[in-house]
Amino acid sequence: MEPLRNPVLERINPRMLDAEPLQRCQLGDCRGACCVFGVWVDLREVKDIMQHAALILPHMPHTARVPGEWFAAVEDEDKNSPSGRVIHTAVETRPDHYGGTACIFCLEDGKCALQVAAVANELHPWRFKPYYCILHPLDLDENGRITLDQTEEMIYDEGSCVRPASDAIPLVDTFEAELRYLLGEKGYQALQEIAAKRGNVFE
């Protein structure tokens, strides 16, 4: 009889058990550099955002208060997305922003209008935020498990949301907020226990 596996191991790449001299960037410094190219959004998320447009509109820039212009018109396939279909947020020319462009929901101070709207309405900050925004700078591997690209390539990319740290920090701590949200409280606690033991749990 095969031993029972912890369900969290089906969602996490072994890479996330590492510890690295890595820390998160500060929004006040980067001003939302990761928003330079916008993001893919599942069709269900698009529908939800549009249904709550009245809550979001007051927090959008005055030049972006037409909900019908918030997303690109072209759909694409995505096997990791709940509906299997995604569309992209609109991207605007922004000379003041890193890379000269920014997601339509990116405000001048780098904050996300979707997140600002959620907080203003006493909801979880990520209530309207697309999954791939919450996930970043984490990613999904070929098996749909949460992972992180090799930091040698990421750390010098302004939009990567990571910076060098003086000491090695467990990735499960560096990305605690994202992992706690995506895995749930019990899932995150289980991941912490696995990371603490390290071991060959994925073999």
Query: Over the stretch 41-78, which tens digit does the pLDDT of each residue have?
Result: 999 999 999 999 999 999 998 889 999 999 998 899 99
Tokens of 19: 């510890």
pLDDT of residue 199: 47
| Contact by Cβ (8 Å): 11, 75 | no
| Contact by Cβ (8 Å): 102, 91 | yes
Give the DSSP letter of residue 31.
S
- Helix locations, the chain, DSSP H: 27-30, 43-51, 53-56, 113-120, 131-135, 151-154, 171-174, 176-197
Tokens of 77: 């396939």
> What's the CA gap between 98 and 35, in Å, rounded?
9
pLDDT band for position 26 (cuts 50, 70, 90): confident
Point out the least confidently predicted range of 5-9, 24-28, 157-161: 157-161
pTM of the prediction?
Answer: 0.88
Query: To 10 degrees, the CA torsion angle through 27, 29, 32, 34?
Result: -110
Instruction: Kindly tell me if the per-residue pLDDT of 201 is higher than 80.
Output: no
> What's the CA gap between 133 and 59, in Å, rounded?
18
> What's the CA gap between 188 and 34, in Å, rounded?
25
Instruction: Kindly tell me if the per-residue pLDDT of 158 is higher than 80.
Output: no
Q: From the CA atom positions of the chain, what is the Rg in Å? A: 18
CB half-sphere exposure, 175, CA atoms < 13 A: 29
- Helix locations, 32-130, DSSP H: 43-51, 53-56, 113-120
Contacts of 123 (CB under 8 A, 6+ apart): none
Tell me the domain boundaries of the chain. Answer: 7-30+136-198, 40-128
- In the chain, the amino acid numbered 150 is Q
Omega within 30 of 0 (cis) for the link into 137: yes
- Residue 140: enclosing H or E segment and its boundaries? strand 139-140
**Mean pLDDT for the chain overall:** 89
Q: Measured at the alpha carbon of residue 138, what is the angle toward residues 135 and 139, in degrees to the nearest 5? A: 90
Tokens of 67: 């909900």
Task: Note the maximum CA span of the chain.
Answer: 62
